[in-house]
Structure 1
């Protein structure tokens, strides 16, 4: 393995010494990857200088890969293009003493982390409320999501008016704590292999475990109405159509706080809701597909290999992206967003072998990148800051390997360190 790295890094060092040397270096790296890595799995690797537009290295950059959570880079770009600095949390129309309102897909309302109550406080101020409950056209789960994962936090149902992050949060303090309390009678204290029944909101929690568990609940409009009435302590009407007229918009929390948590925690729920939220700026009905289609047809119409992009989170294995398209979007972000803000949104990786950003050494970060992992696939896409002060954009995608993912992550980091040191 180290023999391979020596030759790979030697190849990188030869770049910049003339066109012939660059081509020779590329050939040497290609031949070694072919003999050592491709016998086990498939690699795509692209490194570009966004200032000079030079391609420093390219391997299978135009080929499609399963991106896993690095698809959130496209979601981030879409949200930044469509959403203002504050989250549009509700749309509404007043008629006499009645407020008609609808959700926008805002994921932060009473969320266990954000705990945003902007919409709740606003609704409490109105005597009569009527909720438009039929403005979401998408599905609760994304295409290609595993049915058996319904009980885990990484696969939460989507919708127009999510409350509490669409999860039940359970933990043991002096007594059993359940948020929202609406579900307290639905929690069974039992050491059981399931967190929740598949077809009902019956939850299981082992009180001896001592940690906090977030369990997705099954959503529907009747339940959402009950949860709203419970927190507002008043009856709410329902309608299938808002009155005619221009809708007003209520704005909530800061969007960057949502982007950062999506990227740093790789939060699938936030990612998919951000696409739904983005669609609220495009039409009167909500559907993440509309946001994806719009951005690909407009701001990203110059992508040479259009992605197969089916969800905002990257949870689906149906997603297919190329390193070249990843670098293109990363380049647009680098050009359009101030560097300090951009690097704040991306996870920072320091001089450590851990590309997940954990247990970092006190040294200065040199990689700002989003990772993505799903069985037998690992990708890391973002920016590497070199010792000379250059910022380079890279996409490193690995599919279909059988060895431990930790080994792949370590190999990726070794290559990025050499790029940092050489350039």
Structure 2
């Protein structure tokens, strides 16, 4: 690059040179800029049905089930309805309901607190009780902070630490989830003593050609899976097909497939087998790093803390931030924690033996009814949308979105949603189209399922709320979301005419 600071004698020459270079570079600069969205014709509301039907009624798409509702945000008039009252598998669109109820039931400022309580001492040694309340954001850094709090209090010698994992009642894994999901980091156990979203990465590396792959756990000290290694190192020209899957009835995974010679190591995120024990191990290590000795630890459940003194603690971010993580990244772990946290507020939680998640679903129903959602328009089984037993009608999502738009937490809720072409799970969708930047919506996908529900502000039309659900397709999800995005571009072209 030419120097910008030139002597006065060379200014005239330099200016001439720069002008010549700019004239040469202009076509290249223009080509490198992002082209504006194509100038497509406007679509009148009276033409909307024809325009959408032209997309979803294509011969290659006719066999699939579409549920679509498009409605004015500030009213009840529907611009389009295709089987909007029928039930569909919604996938992660369920998170729209979970986060809406969390804001109503828990409140945006609430935080999930991990506490340490003092128990009666044994001689000159302190005994402690650690109570986890399902903070999905807690990491080793948080445990180190608690350890430092204890160190500053002069608690250098601890007898026994009891870890209470009874904050949530019932099984930590949803019984409706598919077996194949249970060896993934998006379907880990959900319990009170959570750490690192209850996952531990397995890093897989190549060896010599024909040799099994080597593997190491990111944190070998945690309670991990046993590994049955059936993988192999392949020639450098071959594709990576390495995979880890759970073996039914065992705390063991089967590592299969191949990794090319000298390929970059592959990280496979796996759920913890016993998260409470892993939490105990990690906390013990944090104490050791702070110079605190411990004699023993145990995992317990349901300890009475009424008369105990809290001596150390760490809080999660507020619910508003947990909701943002849930919707932006479609985080199943956060969604399931929100469901269970909601269940903890049910009046019957302390007087019945019902599962915390079941009580959470009961409070979903109460809140949905208060928002004007027809009880016949949904049947929910989890908070994340991973269960294929969830069924929701597009009209239910439209009603939830409309109700939240006029709620006291409307801005928090709306800003938690991904923006087309800009953020979250929509960052790489609708880029360079008329829909970029004006769609805020929640994505959803499972095999055979694709969904998108949210808000759109067409430049030449009033704001809209919509829900699009596609079920029973047999194509790659990447193909079907492009079809949904086509519909969004049609909505972006709406005009008052």
TM-score calculated relative to the size of structure 1: 0.79
Q: Give CA deviations for 1:168-212 in whole Å, capped at 9, x if unaligned.
A: 124489x98743341499786966365365322678597954233
Equivalent position of 1:105 in the other structure: 134
Cα pair distance change 1:163/1:294, threshold 3 Å: same
In the TM superposition, residue 56 of structure 1 has moved relative to its aligned partner by 1.7
SS in 2 for 1:232: helix
Q: Deviations over 1:102-143 (max 9, x none)?
A: 2222111117xxx54465655666756433333332223223
Give secondary structure in 2 for the equivalent of 1:43.
Answer: strand
The normalised TM-score by structure 2 is 0.68
1:62 pairs with 85, 91, 101, which one? 85
Shift in Å, 1:45: 0.8
Aligned to 1:317: 388
Aligned equivalent of 2:427: 357
Partner of 1:149: 181
Question: Which structure's CA Rg is the greater one?
Answer: 2
Partner Cα distance (1:208, 1:27) in 2: 50
1:336 is the counterpart of 2:407:
yes
Task: List alignment gaps of at least 5 residues for structure 2.
Answer: 1-40, 122-126, 206-213, 232-241, 289-293
1:270 to 334, 359, 368: 334
Q: Residues 53, 119 of structure 1: CA spacing in aligned structure 2 closer, same or farther, 3 A cutoff?
A: farther
Matched residues in 2 for 1:201 and 1:124: separation? 38
Number of matched residues? 401
User: Once structures 1 and 2 are overlaid, which stretch shifts more, 164-173 or 241-250?
Assistant: 241-250
| 8 Å contact kept, 1:89–1:119 | no
SS at match of 2:75: coil
Give the aligned partner of residue 95 of structure 2.
72
Measured in 1, the distance between the counterparts of 2:305 and 2:410 equals 43
Q: In the superposition, relative to structure 1, how do residues 167 and 350 fare at CA in structure 2: closer, same or farther (>3 Å)?
A: closer
Whether 2:295 is the aligned partner of 1:216: answer no
Q: Return the offset for 1:323.
A: 0.3
Which residues of structure 1 form unaligned runs of 5+?
A: 1-8, 16-21
Check whether the contact 1:69–1:373 (CA below 8 A) recurs between aligned residues: yes
Q: Distance in 1 between matches of 2:118 and 2:74?
A: 51
Q: Is the 8 A contact 1:380 1:395 kept in 2?
A: yes
Q: CA RMSD in A?
A: 3.9
Cα pair 1:348 1:366 within 8 Å, conserved = yes
Q: CA deviation at 1:246?
A: 7.0
CA contact (8 A) 1:272 1:313 kept: yes
Deviation at 1:71, TM superposition (A): 0.9
